[in-house]
Homo-oligomer: A and B are copies of this chain.
Amino acid sequence: MAIKVGLVGTGTVGGGCIDILHNHACDFRRHLGIDVELVRVCSREPEQAAAHGVSDIFTEDWHDIVNDPDIDIVIELIGGTTVARELVLAALAAGKNVVTANKALMATYGKEVMDAAEAAGKELAFEASVGGGIPIIDPLKHSLIANEITSVMGIVNGTTNYMLTEMAERGTDYAEALADAQARGFAEADPTADVGGYDAAAKIAILASIAFNSRVTIEDVFTEGITHVSSIDLEAARDMGYSVKLLAIAHRTDEGIDVRVHPTMIPTSHQLATVNGVMNAIYVVGDAVGETMFFGPGAGAGPAASAVMGDVLEVARHLQQGVLPIVGCTCTDSLPIVPVDDLRTKYYIRFQVNDVPGVLAATAGIFSKHNVSVRSVIQRGKEEGGQVNLSYVTHTARESSVRAVIEEVSQLEAVLVGETSVIRVED
């Protein structure tokens, strides 16, 4: 008997899922012995359903799906944390299995919905919530399960990676790169979620929770976007043998989980430095496996639908064989989150200053006073007496000390002009 699926949300990803079911339902039967049937589709846009040829099974009320006793799996693709949360909880309570691509929901209410799934004895799968089509959650929960994972670092936002790639390769500035990304449909009219790092923060919260078996929410993630990064910084990075990426980082340390999103300099020889344009990649370090990386398209109808349908077929396979959820919530530990003030890493800091006598000595003195050891400083500027960029690179230092330096330099009011750029360095 066919496994019956109800789908809520007919946007890009939902349309991709409908297309996959239309194109490959026969293959799924032949290769996997799995019979999956889409029996109900819900959205606020009937014309989207019509465009994908599913008007006959369309409804505008998601309760029609949750309350349909025939439906085994509900696909939630409406996003957000209000209706989506209500829908997912209602579906689980009604005895449905749920597949979702909703990163905000999982990064904010992950515990609540996983607990609800466990209480209901149903599956809740969310591969598509991170990295689009890249298999990453399933490998972490299965193939790599014998490892103690020590680090997860990802380029998990295609918009910002496209912008940083353009800025680095063409020397365009931030505003130009953003306008370009918007013109190409890679960035939204309000780009805050992408350029502010919040999209990446939700994704690293999800990955950290799985990798470290300990719940991490989006509020736990120290988040800085790319709005202060300029092409000058990218040029300086290149000269030093680094690439700048918006990295989502999670490390397991002796103090707990160090989790953050910020522009990061990584050596050009690092595998993540080769990931350009809208592509995503997640780099995972485990005690047995060493370094692995998972690369692919982080967004788009096909990739996200590939991940959603992979989950749907897996759940369907379990249902068909009468298997209870094999993997539920994996957050069995409660590790503390390391405060960002306690972070110890290397820093690139660029001050824009008036080229007045003594400015180098004054700033250098402040580094010294706060025990932040300087590895190199480069002064660049157009003409004598004008404005110059003082680019410091530190040895490993404490975040709180570096902040004190920046705070004190900012007091040099006669000196400082423009915004200070801070890029952390991962070696």
* Chain A residues proximal to chain B, CB less than 8 Å: 16, 20, 23-24, 27-28, 30-32, 127, 133-135, 138-139, 142-148, 213, 271, 274-275, 279, 286-297, 300, 302-303, 305-307, 309-310, 312-314, 317-318, 321, 323-324, 326-327, 330, 332-333
Contacts and interface: CB of A to CB of B under 8 A. Distances in A.
A305 B318 contact: no
Q: Count the copies.
A: 2
A332 B288 contact: no
B288 A146 contact: no
Given A145-B310, A290-B303, 6 more contacts: A31-B333, A135-B144, A146-B312, A271-B279, A287-B302, A293-B296
Nearest to A307: B143
A27 B148 contact: yes
A147 B306 contact: yes
A317 B325 CA distance: 11
Contacts of A31: 213, 330, 332-333
A142 B310 contact: yes
Among A145, A297, A300, the most chain B Cβ lie within 10 Å of the Cβ of A145
Contacts of A333: 30-31
B294 A289 contact: no
A271 B290 contact: no
Given A142-B310, A306-B146, A271 B295 contact: yes
Contacts of A135: 135, 139, 142-144, 292
Given A213-B31, A314-B145, A323-B323, A293 B292 contact: no
A229 B24 CA distance: 42
A322 to B, nearest CB: 9
Contacts of A144: 135, 306, 310
A143 B289 contact: no
29 contacts: A16-B288, A20-B288, A24-B146, A27-B148, A28-B146, A31-B333, A32-B330, A133-B290, A134-B292, A135-B142, A138-B138, A138-B143, A143-B307, A145-B309, A145-B314, A146-B305, A146-B306, A147-B306, A271-B279, A286-B306, A288-B303, A289-B302, A290-B296, A290-B303, A291-B297, A295-B295, A321-B323, A321-B326, A323-B326
Contacts of A24: 146, 148
Contact of A324 (B143, B303, B321): B321
Contacts of A327: 317
Given A32-B145, A310-B142, A305 B292 contact: no
A332 B30 contact: yes
Contacts of A310: 142-146
A292, A293, A305, A309 — most chain B CB neighbours (10 Å): A292
A138 B309 CA distance: 16
Contacts of A30: 332-333
A127 to B, nearest CB: 6
A294 B294 contact: yes
A146 B293 contact: no
A249 B279 CA distance: 22
A324 B327 CA distance: 16
A278 to B, nearest CB: 11
A303 B289 contact: yes
A135 B271 CA distance: 17
A261 to B, nearest CB: 22
A80 to B, nearest CB: 24
Nearest to A134: B292
B145 A313 contact: yes
Nearest to A132: B289
A289 B295 contact: no
A293 B290 contact: no
A28 B145 CA distance: 8
Given A146-B309, A310-B143, A314-B142, A133 B289 contact: yes
